[in-house]
Amino acid sequence: MQYSPNELLICLAARMMEDNSTAFIGTGIPMLAASLAQKLYSPNLVPVFEFGGTGAILEKLPLAVGDMRTFNKALHASGICDIMETAQRGIIEYGFLGGAQIDCYGNLNSTVIGSQSKPKVRLPGSGGANDVGSHCWKTIILMQHDTRRFMPKIDFVTTPGFLTGPGAREKAGLPKETGPYRVVTTLAVMDFEPKSKRMRLIATNPGVTVGDVVKNTGFELLMAEKIQRNEPPQEKELHALRDEIDKDRLYI
């Protein structure tokens, strides 16, 4: 079956959501991935939303993190301060984020393109992204993949990855065990090499070569010993996405 780059991103992210885990979910593609995961792979997934919904059953697609659907049949309804404190206490396992720019250490920019004093573009800003990247145990980043986004030096650090390399998160006062876990893109999936903390290619998407990934990355990627090939979206995944989750085609 034919599928779009966004549909592939959603499916790859949904497969990463473990059953019985907690996951901080942002607006857009992470919401679709969480909905798909609950339907097909992780029925006991506990999605956490910035404005207070915890453990909602995503029967209908929320339009934003404060949408009433993020409280649907939820385990708990609170507010933004409680949710951020929950992350700080180390209770939320996964965080799903996006960004306009990323560097080799997984630092994300969602604030500004160009200088702060004379920006080319003003972006939405952090919202809860800094808290998610700082305190969730494993951050999974979902992005389009090209050299405008994968840069040797980003214009602004909105969300910390491994900052400047090994030991930098700890020096900044962040928990040692936290940090970027995976980068899922329209071309590939990357992890972070444990010693250097640099981004490493571990799998390519269908029809994509290692050369394609390298050409579209603005810094040197490390390479896994064996680079896997990601499976394309399955018919059941596309059916759930198109006919149940996003029938109005808001995202796909």
Nearest of 60, 24, 22, 72 to residue 44 by alpha carbon: 22
- Given the residues 7, 18, 50, 231, select the one marked as catalytic: 50
Instruction: Tell me if residue 50 is catalytic.
Output: yes
C-alpha 18/C-alpha 204 separation (Å) is 21
Say how many C-beta atoms besides its own lie within 10 A of residue 220's C-beta. Answer: 11
Tokens read off for 162: 């491994």
Specify whether the CB–CB gap between 216 and 144 falls below 8 A: no
Phi, psi values for residue 223, rounded to 5°: -120, 130
> How deeply is 234 buried, as exposed, middle or buried, from its count of CB atoms within 10 A (0-12, 13-18, 19+)?
middle
Q: Could you list the active site residues?
A: 50
